């Protein structure tokens, strides 16, 4: 080929067909690369569950609430600190587990898809926490007042959302869909058994919150231990309070509880035995697993979420300090990816959130 | 000054091809990670951030090399619009190589996230945490990535046009040293 000859000015001219053929060759190179890119970014792969499609599912099933989180949109900011007792320092090299205080910005929330849901709309509450270590690394985690997750995979979770979504015509879920979904997903049985007994609590601070997903603690010597964690209230006086009937009792109760004094929780790590499933949040670990009480979470302030410090935090479960790692649970990567898409959409809409705070506050 | 060179300096060629690989990998990694909810999302993200910082460091070296070595002139018979397009597209490529890592870094900072490269290396935040700043930077990171990709495609098509159709010295000046 002439390609390897030194440049010269007397090359024989190309015929028209040669030129067309070479132009077609250039076009083919461009089309192949652009096509590969369009496949990778999902354009040519419409079946793939992408972060955007996950968030679209929430927006479609819940309705549009600009500026709000796409899931658990109703909530309240809280702040305080974690007082480590040092017991977990042997398991994890993360600074948060060394003795001493780590500041925390958190958010209690209702696990519905509508920021105007009444507080008794669901028998579950959620808590998101951000610990900021002295070295600037952070630990963010979301915990829910349920012992396990209904399903183990992102695809099953989206199918569950679609099976239980309200039909736009009737305003209620298609009665045939949930039973069909649960029959096709036997892994939901333990969750279904639990939720039959669950009641909406009268307070955020009386609930036990569980990570549901597994993580891996990494010790200074490199030793790895799979764990799940729980945030357990230390004061359980009001556990039996009946659920009030008004719409927004949780925020009011939280303010009252905090006015009476800081609210304290234990951070309890449950250590997996070899062979316990770390990749399936729908499977509980046996109740006899060893636990370590890592210290006390003290919450002493609350703020409305529309202008509170928690508003602009994406509680991505894979924002982790050195010494804590994600496990092989596929829900972790899915949550991280979908939260990023939700965060991008809602941060674009923060102006709309400021414009309509009156809608949220009901006297 | 000596006569104009006919080829890029060896270090310039090395940086060009190394960064071509890195930047194209980076664009595919970025496009793939934001379109994935599987474990791929996490491991692509963990490559994306340090690779972006590596590109930022290398483009600074490359700009120094670009200004301190001689570059071959475009063929004298190249139509003026093609010469202008060549010049402008090179400015765009250099600007994006420099801007994209900085926007990515600023965007993570604006989200209030720790800027982590791997498990324990943390870079300082370069802008204050602010939701609106984040949203703007995040949009810029996406749309400039598409501009980057399209500019690279045009650059590649033009290089092949020089090599296969015009058959001048332009492609060879980056492929080879002196003949």
Q: A84 in helix, strand or coil?
A: strand
Residues A140 and A287 in one domain: yes
- Inside any domain, residue A41: yes
Point out the domain boundary residue: A27, A46, A65.
A46
Name the residue with tokens 């920021």: A115
Q: Is the Cβ pair A29, B156 closer than 8 Å?
A: yes
- Inside any domain, residue A1: no
CA nearest neighbour of A343 among A61, A150, A73, A136:
A73
Residues A265 and A164 in one domain: yes
- Inside any domain, residue A7: no
| Tens of each residue's pLDDT in chain A, 363 residues | 344 444 555 678 999 999 999 999 999 999 999 999 999 999 999 999 999 999 999 999 999 999 999 999 999 999 999 999 999 999 999 999 998 999 999 999 999 999 999 999 999 999 999 999 999 999 999 999 999 999 999 999 999 999 988 887 787 888 899 999 999 999 999 999 999 999 999 999 999 999 999 999 999 999 999 999 999 999 776 556 677 878 999 999 999 999 999 999 999 999 999 999 999 999 999 999 999 999 999 999 999 999 999 999 999 999 999 999 999 999 999 999 999 999 999 999 999 986 554 444 443
Residues A152 and A275 in one domain: yes
Residues A109 and A252 in one domain: yes
CA distance A16 to A347: 55
Residues A252 and A270 in one domain: yes
Q: Report the residue of chain A nearest B171, measured CA to CA.
A: A3
Mark whether A4 is an active-site residue. Answer: no
- Inside any domain, residue A229: yes
Residues A35 and A130 in one domain: no
- Inside any domain, residue A283: yes
Residues A246 and A201 in one domain: yes
Residues A105 and A164 in one domain: yes
Which pair of structure tokens corresponds to residue A307?
A: 């202008």
A183 shares contact with chain B (CB less than 8 Å)? no
Report if pTM > 0.90. yes
A1 shares contact with chain B (CB less than 8 Å)? no
Best to test chain A binding among B6, B34, B35, B37 (most A CBs inside 10 Å): B37
Domain that holds residue A39: 18-46
Residues A35 and A107 in one domain: no
Which pair of structure tokens corresponds to residue B107?
A: 């965007």
Q: Is the Cβ pair A311, B131 closer than 8 Å?
A: yes
Residues A25 and A56 in one domain: no
Nearby residues of B101 by Cβ (< 8 Å), 6 or more positions away: B52, B53, B55, B56, B59
The answer to whether residues A330 and B37 touch, using CB atoms and an 8 Å cutoff, is: no
Q: Which fold has domain B10-175?
A: Fumarate Reductase Cytochrome B subunit (1.20.950)
Residues A26 and A69 in one domain: no
ipTM confidence score: 0.94
CA A193 to chain centre: 23
The answer to whether residues A298 and A81 touch, using CB atoms and an 8 Å cutoff, is: yes
Provide the CATH number for the domain around residue A250. Answer: 2.40.180.10
Domains held by chain A: number: 2
């Amino acid at each position: 080929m002439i390609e390897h000859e030194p440049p010269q000015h007397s090359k024989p001219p190309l015929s028209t067909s040669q030129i067309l053929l070479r132009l077609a060759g250039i076009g083919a190179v461009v089309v192949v690369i652009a096509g590969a890119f369009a496949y990778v970014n999902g354009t040519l792969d419409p079946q793939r569950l992408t972060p955007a499609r996950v968030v679209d599912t929430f927006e479609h099933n819940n309705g549009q609430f600009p500026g709000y989180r796409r899931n658990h949109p109703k909530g309240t900011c809280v702040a305080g600190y974690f007082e480590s007792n040092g017991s977990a320092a042997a398991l994890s090299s993360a600074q948060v587990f060394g003795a001493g205080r780590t500041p925390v910005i958190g958010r209690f929330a209702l696990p519905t898809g509508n920021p105007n849901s009444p507080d008794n709309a669901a028998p579950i509450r959620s808590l998101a926490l951000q610990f900021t270590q002295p070295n600037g690394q952070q630990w963010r985690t979301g915990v829910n007042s349920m012992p396990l997750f209904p399903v183990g995979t992102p695809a099953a979770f989206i199918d569950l959302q679609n099976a239980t979504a309200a039909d736009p015509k009737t305003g209620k879920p298609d009665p045939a869909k949930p039973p069909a979904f649960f029959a096709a997903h036997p892994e939901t049985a333990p969750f279904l058994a639990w939720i039959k007994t669950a009641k909406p609590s009268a307070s955020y601070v009386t609930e036990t919150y569980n990570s549901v997903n597994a993580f891996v603690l990494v010790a200074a010597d490199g030793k790895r231990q799979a764990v799940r964690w729980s945030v357990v209230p230390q004061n359980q006086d009001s556990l039996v309070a009946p659920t009030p009937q008004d719409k927004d009792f949780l925020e009011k109760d939280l303010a009252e509880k905090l006015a009476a004094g800081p609210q304290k929780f234990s951070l309890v790590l449950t250590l997996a035995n070899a062979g316990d499933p770390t990749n399936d949040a729908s499977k509980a670990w046996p109740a006899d697993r060893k636990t370590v009480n890592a210290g006390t979470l003290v919450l002493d302030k609350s703020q409305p979420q529309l202008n509170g410090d928690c508003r602009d935090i994406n509680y991505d479960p894979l924002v982790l300090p050195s010494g804590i790692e994600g496990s092989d649970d596929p829900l972790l990567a899915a949550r991280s990816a979908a939260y990023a898409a939700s965060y991008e959409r809602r941060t674009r809409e923060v102006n709309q959130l400021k414009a309509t705070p009156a809608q949220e506050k009901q006297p | 000054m000596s006569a104009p060179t006919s080829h890029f300096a060896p270090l310039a060629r090395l940086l060009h091809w190394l960064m071509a690989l890195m930047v194209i990998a980076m664009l595919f990694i970025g496009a793939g990670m934001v379109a994935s909810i599987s474990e791929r999302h996490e491991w692509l993200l963990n490559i994306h951030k340090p690779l972006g910082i590596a590109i930022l460091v290398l483009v600074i070296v490359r700009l120094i090399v670009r200004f301190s070595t001689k570059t071959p002139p475009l063929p004298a018979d190249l139509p003026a619009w093609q010469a202008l397009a060549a010049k402008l597209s090179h400015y765009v490529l250099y600007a994006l190589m420099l801007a994209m890592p900085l926007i990515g870094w600023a965007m993570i900072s604006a989200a209030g996230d720790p800027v982590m490269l791997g498990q324990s290396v943390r870079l300082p935040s370069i802008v204050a945490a602010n939701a609106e700043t984040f949203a703007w930077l995040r949009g810029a990171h996406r749309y400039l990535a598409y501009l980057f990709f399209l500019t690279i495609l045009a650059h590649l098509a033009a290089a092949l046009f020089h090599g296969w159709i015009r058959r001048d010295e332009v492609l060879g000046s980056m492929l080879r040293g002196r003949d």
